[in-house]
């Protein structure tokens, strides 16, 4: 292994990420809590329960984040706490969010706040959630209240987290809380309403807080054809890429919705984003013909696959998705990137090899401004419950005990030094030395 150092810009944001329902605990007024109470919805019948107890004690984990040297954190707000009933906003809930956001500032951690991260108030579900046009007015009003009360503490906003994941898992796959109507027509309507909600939230924020940066956190996936497949499979992978990765971005850019959203212009949507948030995890192989599913569920020989068959570790894909959004000419943040790995055996190499792709992008002068690792602490992973652990900090949900993982120690060194060195690689992931610093070491 050659020796060397990968330096990052002095103003680079080193962050972590969480979502409200996954860490706060006792979010009993939303559809996910209700979904958890049914049987067969969550692996091993797990419940979020107290989660990471952030509602009572977020400051303890923020202390750890500050000690690690991070200077940014992405978190979400729980709509059902803030507006537990239509038109009734909870002052105590808003005050608690102010306390958490102020605690971040006090520790030198810049907040990035997500308005919608998969959960809905029960009252909104009764009205049809994103399947009904009424949601746009409700979302705009919720946004206005939040910005009025919290905006002075929030320089960066994410309106919607992973809209295509939300719709696919809820309306088509059925592993997220079931809507009143399912299937492709309902999914298309929900996507159109999500776009309208995003546009309404964007302009609501900018009218009240012109200096704020507003974007979305878009899950981007590499879709590929198996090497053994031919032209038709490669064409199908490109179509999936457009459907899943590009259609939403194109709609936000030009204001026009196309399949699967339904055709037509959406008022005030064009140009309604200041940055691009990329959530990147893995590569999938497209199944062609798509009989019995869109994707192959098995991996290529030699692939490194994370816990629970979650996905293939494919760091090159991060550079590819960064490059794919350059055409939009906006700042880029890696708003989520991580791996479920309860034994912490592959996460150190995962962090280093993916950050190498970020460094490579920056070296090409691509405008990547920050990286938010998913996640700061083990949390409730939706339909997978507690069976998958993404945290830099290990947590026992029964005892609430925490312990910084080896990967957390590595991330601490990276954040504090603002660089990746060959010494770090040799210490934490020697098996990746020739990938990260190829060549012969000087004699």
Whether 273 maps to a domain, the answer reads yes
Q: What is the pLDDT of residue 182?
A: 93
CATH at 388: 3.20.20.80
- What phi-psi label fits residue 372: left (phi over 0), alpha (psi between -120 and 50 degrees) or beta? beta
Q: E strand or H helix at 393, and its extent?
A: strand 393-395
If pLDDT is split at 50, 70 and 90, which confidence band does 118 have?
Answer: very high
Whether 441 maps to a domain, the answer reads no
If pLDDT is split at 50, 70 and 90, which confidence band does 366 have?
Answer: very high
Average pLDDT over residues 121-144: 97
pLDDT tens per residue across span 397-407: 999 999 999 99
Residue among 429, 401, 424, 396 nearest 412 (CA): 424
Average pLDDT over residues 356-383: 98
Mean pLDDT, rounded, of the chain: 96
If pLDDT is split at 50, 70 and 90, which confidence band does 440 have?
Answer: low
Q: What is the pLDDT of residue 323?
A: 98
pLDDT higher than 90, residue 330: yes
pLDDT tens per residue across span 302-321: 999 999 999 999 999 999 99
pLDDT higher than 70, residue 179: yes
What is the chain's length?
Answer: 443
The tally of domains found in the chain comes to 1
Whether 26 maps to a domain, the answer reads yes
Q: What is the pLDDT of residue 229?
A: 87
Residue 165: which residues within 8 A CB-CB, separation 6 or more?
Answer: 219
Whether 385 maps to a domain, the answer reads yes
pLDDT higher than 90, residue 297: no
Whether 64 maps to a domain, the answer reads yes
Residue 264: which residues within 8 A CB-CB, separation 6 or more?
Answer: 256, 257
Whether 155 maps to a domain, the answer reads yes
Q: What is the pLDDT of residue 264?
A: 87
% pLDDT > 90, the chain: 92
Domain hosting 265: range is: 5-436
Whether 443 maps to a domain, the answer reads no
Identify whether the C-beta of residue 118 lies closer than 8 Å to the C-beta of residue 382: yes
Longest dimension (CA), the chain: 71
If pLDDT is split at 50, 70 and 90, which confidence band does 162 have?
Answer: very high
Residue 426: which residues within 8 A CB-CB, separation 6 or more?
Answer: 1, 433
pLDDT tens per residue across span 203-258: 999 999 999 999 999 999 999 999 888 899 999 999 999 999 999 999 999 999 88
Q: Within 10 A of 285 (CB to CB), how many other CB atoms are there?
A: 22
Whether 442 maps to a domain, the answer reads no
pLDDT higher than 60, residue 443: no
Residue among 234, 201, 235 nearest 215 (CA): 201
């Amino acid at each position: 292994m050659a020796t060397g150092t990968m330096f990052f810009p002095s103003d680079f944001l080193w962050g972590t990420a969480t979502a409200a329902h996954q860490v706060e605990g006792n979010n009993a007024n939303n559809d996910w809590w209700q979904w958890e109470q049914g049987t067969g919805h969550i692996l091993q019948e797990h419940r979020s329960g107290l989660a990471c107890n952030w509602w009572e004690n977020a400051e303890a984990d923020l202390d750890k984040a500050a000690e690690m040297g991070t200077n940014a954190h992405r978190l979400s707000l729980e709509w059902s706490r803030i507006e537990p009933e239509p038109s009734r906003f909870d002052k105590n809930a808003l005050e608690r969010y102010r306390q958490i956001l102020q605690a971040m500032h006090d520790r030198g951690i810049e907040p990035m706040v997500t308005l919608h991260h998969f959960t809905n108030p029960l009252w909104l579900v009764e009205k049809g959630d994103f399947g009904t046009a009424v949601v746009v007015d409700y979302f705009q009003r919720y946004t206005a209240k939040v910005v009025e009360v919290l905006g002075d503490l929030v320089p960066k906003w994410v309106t919607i987290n992973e809209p295509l994941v939300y719709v696919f898992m809820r309306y088509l796959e059925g592993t997220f809380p079931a809507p009143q109507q399912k299937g492709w027509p309902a999914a298309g309507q929900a996507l159109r309403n999500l776009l309208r909600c995003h546009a309404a939230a964007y302009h609501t924020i900018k009218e009240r807080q012109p200096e704020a940066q507003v974007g979305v956190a878009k899950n981007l996936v590499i879709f590929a054809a198996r090497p053994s497949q031919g032209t038709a499979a490669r064409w199908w992978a490109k179509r999936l890429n457009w459907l899943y990765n590009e259609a939403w971005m194109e709609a936000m850019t030009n204001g026009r919705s196309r399949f699967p959203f339904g055709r037509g212009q959406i008022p005030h949507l064009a140009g309604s984003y200041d940055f691009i948030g990329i959530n990147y995890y893995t590569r999938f192989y497209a199944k062609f013909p798509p009989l019995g599913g869109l994707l192959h569920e098995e991996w290529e020989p030699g692939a490194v696959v994370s816990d629970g068959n979650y996905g293939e570790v494919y760091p090159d894909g991060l550079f590819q998705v960064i490059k794919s959004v350059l055409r939009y000419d906006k700042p880029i943040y890696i708003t989520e990137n991580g791996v479920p790995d309860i034994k912490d055996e592959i996460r150190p190499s995962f962090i280093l090899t993916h950050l190498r792709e970020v460094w490579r992008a920056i070296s090409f002068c691509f405008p990547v401004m920050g990286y938010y690792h998913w996640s700061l602490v083990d949390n409730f992973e939706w339909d997978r419950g507690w069976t998958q652990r993404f945290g830099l900090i290990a947590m026992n949900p029964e005892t609430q005990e925490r312990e910084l993982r080896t990967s957390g120690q590595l991330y601490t060194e990276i954040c504090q030094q603002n660089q990746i060195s060959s010494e770090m690689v040799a210490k934490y992931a020697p098996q990746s030395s020739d990938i990260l610093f190829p060549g012969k070491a000087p004699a």
